Structure formats: C-alpha cells, structure tokens
C-alpha cells in the first residue's frame, strides 16, 4: 500500500480516516452482483441500524451518493403528493432541504430563523396547528453551519402529536453524537459514509421504520433515489439496484468495525474531549464563538472571525493548510464566522499541534 501523509481535517467531513480504512479499499476486483458482495452490503446495512440502536424496528436503504442523495431519497420517497413538508430552517442545511423539496414541486412550510437561532417548540407547534396538510417535518440534528444541536427528541414528540412524520438530517452527527432511534421515534434518519462514521465519501443511507414500507410503495417521485425500490430490491435479490462504489463499501465496512470497537461512548468522549481542548485553546487565543455553550454540538465550532485588519480567512487557511491542517469557512451564519470541527480520526495531540499552528498565524498578523 502506498504510504500517504496524514492530514488533519478540521472541516466537518469528509473526515480524517484511519490508515486501515484507507487500506480497506485495496481489494480484489469483484462484480457487485456476486453473493459475497451482497453479504457485505447486508452486514453494512444491519450494522448501520445497530449504530443508532434501531434493531427490529428500523432498516436501512443504501445509495451510491453523497449525503444529499440520502436526503433526496427520504424527502421524495416520504412526502405524498398533495401533502406539505415543514422544514426547520436555522442553517444552510435546512435551506438546502427546502430547495431540494421545491425542486420536486413539494410544497414547503418554512420555519425560518436566522442561521444560529435556536428553534422554538411553540413556533413549531403553531405551524403544525395552522397547517393540517403537513405530512412530514424535516430538521437537521447537528446544523453544521453553526454547530447547533437542534432538539430532535422534543420536535419528534410534537410532530407525532399532530400525526406528522419526521425526517432527520444526521449527516454530521450519526456515529459521533449518540443517537437512539427508538427513543426519538423519528421515521427517517439520514446520513453518509464520510463524516463521524469515518469512512470514505460515496454512500448515503436512510434508516427508516420498516412498518412504513407499504406506504412507501406508493411513492414514485424519483427513479434512482427511491427508498422502497432500493430496500425491497435488495431484500429480493441480495443486490443493490445500481452499481455501488465497491471499494467505498469495503472502507465503510472497516469504518463500522472500528466504530463498534471504539464504542458509542468511546467515540463521543474522544470527540468531546478534543472539542473541549479546542474551545479552551481558542479562548486562550482571544477568540469567541457564535453560539452559547448549551446549544453547541460539541463536535464543531463556529468561531467569530477576528476583527484585526490584517486578518484574512483565505490567508489563514493557506498558512494552516501548508502545515497539514484543513480549516473551513463560515456558511452564512448571522455573524461572520469560520468553522472548525473535531469529527474524524483525531486525537489530543492533533488539536494541540493545531492550536500551536493557529497561534503562529495570529501572531504573524498581530
């Protein structure tokens, strides 16, 4: 295996991966219609459900796509014609779900907030009361735009009170922040292979309640991103409908094994510890944050951009990139920010080294 330099990705996915996940992609050529490959996919699908404790009640549909493909599958498969989707929009990924739904002529009721504002349950309840033609509510668990953790449990409870099903975008929280699907009772949970699960980009998955299958069989908005066809097709044939990225599937298998070995608590504690260390270090450097502590996901920070006249995000990015650290710009939050995330195969020493490098940049412009 070619030796590659380890890079510290502080962007919120795709994340820094282990050497073993990278190596897992070097496999013999195989036709994905072979039984052996089908068994690999079967195991992956089962374990994806296990990660969020959904066994027995939830199943997974897997698509060759980035995460947005999973959202497209969930939204277009779930929302029936003539019904509306209520979207909680307090970040760019809420906005994206609105655009996605509108592309398919799905009527959207927006609960619009500034990027970084915490959703009010009373406001959501009013919208649910006022719009009895809403069949689904879509919300982002960890809003990667700001680092906000939205109150999914409470939103699920409210939605169900009004007979509304819930689609949760867990792109940047799944396998990082502990999730219990059966506690939430969310109908659809969407994520992808390249964030906290620490695999490679290329697979999106929708974990959904198996008892929704008969309802789903009636939806025909999308050909490729159809949860029913993808799930039932695999059940019948042991094959995915369309050509999967074989090597990325092997990497995901390895990444799931490593997740199960580290354990839910182990991964969450590693991320939280790295985040705490980052918070303290950034505060020592005089930086402050967009969100109050209690609303933070503890795996990503939106940091207020320094006011110094010599500060420039691109220059800071390039300075740090040269040293092996990738940072991320802001994304329309209500104040100017840049972002740092700790998801991925990162450790204390990586954060300490990063803080030294960042101090170097800030000193160079002072």
What does the binding site for ligand PLP look like in residue numbers (CB under 6 A)? 12-13, 66-68, 93, 140, 144, 169, 171-172, 192
CB of residue 297 to ligand PLP, shortest distance in Å:
10
217/229 Cα distance (integer angstroms): 8
Is the CB of 13 or the CB of 344 nearer to ligand PLP? Answer: 13
Our CA dihedral for 178, 184, 187, 188, rounded to 10 degrees, sits at -20
DSSP 8-state symbol, 94? H
Pair type for strands 165-169 and 188-192 = parallel
CB of 365 to ligand PLP, least distance (A): 29
Question: CA 93 to CA 113: how far, in whole Å?
Answer: 12
Cβ–Cβ < 8 Å for 187, 166:
yes
Nearer to ligand PLP, 275 or 361 (CB): 275
Residue among 68 and 296 whose Cβ is closer to ligand PLP: 68
Q: Based on CB atoms, which residue is closest to ligand PLP, 165 or 169?
A: 169
Beta bridge partners of 167: 138, 188
Taking the complex as a whole, how short is the minimal distance between the CB of residue 236 and ligand PLP, in angstroms? 28
To the nearest whole angstrom, how small is the minimum distance from the Cβ of residue 23 to ligand PLP? 23
- The Cα 151–Cα 170 span in angstroms is 12
Least distance between ligand PLP and beta carbon 1 (Å): 26
> In whole angstroms, how close is the CB of 144 to ligand PLP at the nearest point?
3
Which of 142-155 are b and which e, b meaning 16 or more Cβ less than 10 Å from the residue's Cβ? bbbbbbbbbbbeeb
Residue 29 is classified by DSSP as -
Burial class of 355 by CB neighbour count within 10 A (0 to 12, 13 to 18, 19+): middle
Which candidate, 120, 123, 133, places its Cα nearest to that of 163?
A: 133
CB of 89 to ligand PLP, least distance (A): 12
Strand, helix or coil for residue 70: helix
Residue 217 Cβ vs ligand PLP, minimum distance, rounded to whole Å: 26
Nearer to ligand PLP by Cβ, of 296 and 319: the residue is 296
Nearest approach in angstroms of CB 333 to ligand PLP is: 14
Task: Please state the closest distance from residue 199 (CB atom) to ligand PLP, in A.
Answer: 12
Phi, psi of 334 (to 5 degrees): -65, -20
Locate all alpha helices (DSSP H) within the chain, ordered by sequence: 19-23, 35-51, 67-78, 92-103, 121-130, 152-161, 181-184, 213-216, 227-237, 246-262, 264-284, 313-322, 348-365
**Alpha carbon distance 303, 330 (integer Å):** 8
- Of the two residues 302 and 357, which places its CB atom closer to ligand PLP in the complex? 302
Choose between 190 and 362: whose C-beta lies nearer to ligand PLP.
190
In the complex with ligand PLP, which residue's Cβ is closer, 139 or 357?
A: 139
HSE (CB half, 13 Å, CA atoms) of 343?
Answer: 30
- Residue number, 253 or 331, with CB nearest to ligand PLP: 331
Using the minimum distance from each CB to ligand PLP, give the nearer residue, 25 or 74.
74
CB atoms within 10 A of CB 285: 15
């Amino acid at each position: 295996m070619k030796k590659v330099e380890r890079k510290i990705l502080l962007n919120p996915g795709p994340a820094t991966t282990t050497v073993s996940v990278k190596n897992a992609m070097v496999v013999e050529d195989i036709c994905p219609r072979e039984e052996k490959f089908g068994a690999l996919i079967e195991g992956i699908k089962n374990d994806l459900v296990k990660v969020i404790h959904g066994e027995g009640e939830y199943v997974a549909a897997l698509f060759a796509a980035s995460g947005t493909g999973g959202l497209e599958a969930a939204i277009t498969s779930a929302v029936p014609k003539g019904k509306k989707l209520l979207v909680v929009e307090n970040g760019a990924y809420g906005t994206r779900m609105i655009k996605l739904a509108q592309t398919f002529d799905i009527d959207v009721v927006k609960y619009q907030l500034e990027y970084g504002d915490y959703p009010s349950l009373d406001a959501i309840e009013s919208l649910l009361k006022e719009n009895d033609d809403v069949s689904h509510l879509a919300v982002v668990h960890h809003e990667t735009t700001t680092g906000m953790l939205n109150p999914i449990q409470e939103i699920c409870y409210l939605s169900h009170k009004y007979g509304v099903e819930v689609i949760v975008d867990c792109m940047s929280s799944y396998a990082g922040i502990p999730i219990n699907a059966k506690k939430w009772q969310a109908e659809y949970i969407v994520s992808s292979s390249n964030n906290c699960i620490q695999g490679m980009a290329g697979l999106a998955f929708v974990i959904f309640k198996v008892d929704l299958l008969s309802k789903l069989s009636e939806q025909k908005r999308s050909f490729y991103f159809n949860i029913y066809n993808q799930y039932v097709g695999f059940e019948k044939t042991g094959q995915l409908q369309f050509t999967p990225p074989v090597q990325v599937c092997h990497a995901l298998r390895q990444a799931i094994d490593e997740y199960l070995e580290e354990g839910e608590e182990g991964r969450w504690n590693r991320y939280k510890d790295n985040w705490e260390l980052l918070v303290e270090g950034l505060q020592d450097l005089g930086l402050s944050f967009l969100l109050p502590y209690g609303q933070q996901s503890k795996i990503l920070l939106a940091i207020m951009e320094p006011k110094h006249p010599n500060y420039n995000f691109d220059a800071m990015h390039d300075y740090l990139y040269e040293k092996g650290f990738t940072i991320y710009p802001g994304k329309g939050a209500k104040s100017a920010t840049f972002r740092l995330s700790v998801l991925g195969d990162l450790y204390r020493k990586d954060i300490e080294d990063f803080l030294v490098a960042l101090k170097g940049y800030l000193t160079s412009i002072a």
